[in-house]
């Protein structure tokens, strides 16, 4: 009987049906769309582009992120990571790809103001030794000047 109940719960989840079993509610609802906004702030410097990332840099958002950021022709680029809610391995890969692309073109690149989760991901992956990462946007701006 226990196995039968779990099959009903699974079947209900797949069809979006709410099922109550012994007072515990099991409910399915569609996931919110994953978003990442890129907000440019150059402060009048035509050679420097500071872009604040707002949202999640994850598998669902990396394609548009790479397509947009590879088109940035500014000599110096600082990515303000302070509003990145989550960074996964695909996001890390996108940052590395952008770093390598810009370095090949002789363009400067820096990451700034990473939150705790993003910093931990970069630390565990060993990329803090490869990528230029700064505690604040101001430090990054000075470093790429």
Over the stretch 39-79, which tens digit does the pLDDT of each residue have?
998 777 889 999 999 999 999 999 999 999 999 989 999 99
**Do 76 and 13 belong to one domain?**
no
**Do 76 and 117 belong to one domain?**
yes
Q: Give the confidence band of 136 by pLDDT, cuts at 50, 70, 90.
A: very high
Whether 23 has a pLDDT exceeding 90, the answer reads no
Task: Count how many residues are written for the chain.
Answer: 145
CATH number of the CATH domain containing 57: 3.30.750.24
In percent, how much of the chain has pLDDT > 90? 70
**Do 21 and 46 belong to one domain?**
no
**Do 21 and 42 belong to one domain?**
no
Contact 114, 122 (CB under 8 A): yes
Does the pTM surpass 0.75? The reply is: yes
Q: How far lies 141's CA from each of 17, 51, 76, 79, 136, in Å?
A: 52, 12, 9, 10, 9
**Looking at residue 31, what is its pLDDT?**
67
Residue range of the domain that includes 20: 1-30
**Do 72 and 134 belong to one domain?**
yes
**Do 95 and 127 belong to one domain?**
yes
**Do 69 and 96 belong to one domain?**
yes
Q: Give the confidence band of 26 by pLDDT, cuts at 50, 70, 90.
A: low
**Do 46 and 72 belong to one domain?**
yes
Residue that the structure tokens 């949202």 belong to:
55
Number of domains in the chain: 2
Gap between the terminal Cα atoms of the chain: 69
**Do 66 and 107 belong to one domain?**
yes
Q: Give the confidence band of 89 by pLDDT, cuts at 50, 70, 90.
A: very high
């Amino acid at each position: 009987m226990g196995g039968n109940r779990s099959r009903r719960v699974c079947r209900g989840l797949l069809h979006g049906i709410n099922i109550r079993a012994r007072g515990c509610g099991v409910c399915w609802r569609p996931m919110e769309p994953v978003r990442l906004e890129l907000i440019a702030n150059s402060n009048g410097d035509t050679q420097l582009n500071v872009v604040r990332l707002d949202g999640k840099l994850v598998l669902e958002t990396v394609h548009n992120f790479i397509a947009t950021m590879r088109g940035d022709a500014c000599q110096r680029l600082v990515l303000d990571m302070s509003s990145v809610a989550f960074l996964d391995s695909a996001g890390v890969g996108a940052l590395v790809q952008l770093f390598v692309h810009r370095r090949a073109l002789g363009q400067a690149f820096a990451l700034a103001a990473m939150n705790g989760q993003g910093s931990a991901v970069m630390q565990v992956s060993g990329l803090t030794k490869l990528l230029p990462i700064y505690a604040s946007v101001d430090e990054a701006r000075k470093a790429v000047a």
